[in-house]
Structure 1
Amino acid sequence: PMAVFTPKTALLELLNGLFTRKINEREPIMANVAGDIERHPTFGNLAILKIAHSEIDQDDFIQECKLLLAMSDEYPNWRQRRHFIEVLGVGTLKGLFVHVRRCDDEFKEHKLTSPRPFYITERLPITLEDVRFASRNRFVDPQLSIYLAIGMIKGVRLLHEMGWMMREVPSSRFALRLPPSALLFRLPLKAVTNISWASRYRGDRKAQFSDKFCFNPRYGSPDVVEGISQGPKDDAYSIFFILLEFLLGFLPWDGVNQKESNNAKRVAMVTKTITDKGGPIFTDWCDLFSLVAEADTELGLLPYEKIFEQLIRQTNSNKPDISIIGFLYHLRRQYYDCSAEHK
């Protein structure tokens, strides 16, 4: 069934020009407390995917490294580790070297006296946010959108299977990666590029809002925005909202500054109603949220296979009125008509 999601022409158009950026344009240059310049080494088209450059960032970075190492221990077989690397987009973990600028303007390379434990090398990533903005109309082809959404769900599924939740789920934390051969017909891979805010999932009990409560305000689920709870379901809701943005080119709550009105539109998406018109969303779209809402996440797992089947069925449906393509057309027209009425 995955052969359905091979829109090579669309991918070729989106990737055209994105891989032609110079490496130096994206090479991070940092200075430590003493003013010494730190620059990471580059090897061909490899670059640092994640690096700590301040005390706060270093804490997040160390937490992420511990998570990666813990997950690596759970995959003792090299075939399993290869799958883990492909999904999370982790190339290799290596020691950090720096170039230090001395007073005599001479550069010397050495290890840090208190070396940070690791940096992660990976091919230069193209985030899914870049993919959307590479589109002239700011929305993406429905089949390609669902293909990318399936990749995002696979990424967070690996975290959920380990008993973790991603929490911060924007499109900028997922990358589109080509295999080492760089051949399009081998299908690109989607990878999670930043899991520094991931944390252990401790059941569906309600949690009060705290400083450690982390979510993306643009893609956060209704409960998370209200500070009620946070779990694997909220990761899935955020991915569905990202998918909606890919399809429409915008989110219904864009430009809504009042918290109540903003969150009411999120609730409408989850509870099968559109507040602007008061009409129901099409059945197929509702089923995505229903599958997640009705799931028993006591173990932190969601019905991923059913979600994949639902997404694939939407693109293969012969009835345009109930397919995701028909939903896209009617929903977009509905919001455009509503916007025109308010002018």
Structure 2
Amino acid sequence: MLKVGIIGTGGISAAHLRGYLDHPQQCQVVALCDIVPGKAEARRAEFDLPDARVYADAAEMLAAEWLDLVSVATPPDAHAPMTILALNAGVNVLVEKPMAPSLEECDAMIAAAEASGKLLGSVAQNRYRDDMASLKEVLDSGLIGTISHAQINSAWSRSLPYYDLWWRGRWATEGGGCTLNHAIHHIDLTLWLLGRPRAVTAVMSNAQHDNAEVEDLSVAILQYDRGLAELTSSTVHHGEQQSIVIQGQHARVSQPWSVAADRHRPNGFPGGANDQLITELDAVAAAHRPLAKTGHPGQIGDFLAAVAEGRRPAIDGTDGRNAIELVTAIYESAIERKTVDFPLQPDDPYYRTGTLVERAPHFFEKLNSVDDQAGEIVVGGSAT
């Protein structure tokens, strides 16, 4: 039975707690930590964990408890120090998205994992969705041929009060806006489905949130060897209609699931549907075996198994770093008004911690700051 601790008991910690409680034969949550008085106690009561001990200091918790792993579910600026603290204490770590605001911090986290011999996982729970898993299987089948174009819409809806929470809306504490903290889900999926691009060109703006320094909208063009991808990151889209549309050499596939394939006339013009290929692609999608568990419970189940078996988790620190590399390139491109090539190097100023705080525009100044917000985190219709 693996012993689990939670560092940070804000909104997203509920998803982690539900995930661990969904595996009662594999683990037990024994400790909760939060610097805000009463917050960890409230989570303990909410999830009926009377035997779990509560701490206000992570170092104290790590020294007092015999833990096999911790979830780091703090605001983003604390992800790196809390992760490194736990790894150095000999504890495996699953860190919530985004892994960290900078590549420098990501590399320090990965180095700490390697030095300690412990596992580092980065949350990317949308890989544990049946629709995305089936899309991955369709692409891996090779039936659509080479990729020509992709459209990834990471569309979220947040009103002004969302950015009143003390750590949101500031480059120094949130690490960025919708690109880092919302589209990180679709950015990870883009890399998982399509691979790392060669270069990125981007623009960003704050269209509707005049109480936040950070962007609420960005549009990026990702350049692959031959194809292109468009990535929209947003907290200004009503309806949160999120989608991934991939145009291939032979067919178009998308989630929500749709497929189209054209036959072409000798002169190159379309000449009706390729019904056989459409049938084959539908069959691949239909053959997907539903995942045993989805979302956070699915990823947490794999991480628990990885700790127990001493193997690499399905989504590790390198995967989390890759997503931050793409986010970093989008920010650098938008701020410096240039195309950014991959991979980003350590001598790139945007690799370093603090460069965004120094160089990113303050679209607006943060007007309000509240210590906490009541109510559940609503994560959107089709992407969590």
Task: State TM-score, norm by structure 2.
Answer: 0.24
With CA pairs under 8 Å and 6+ residues apart, which has the higher RCO, 1 or 2?
2
More helix, by proportion: 1
More strand, by proportion: 2
Task: State TM-score, norm by structure 1.
Answer: 0.26
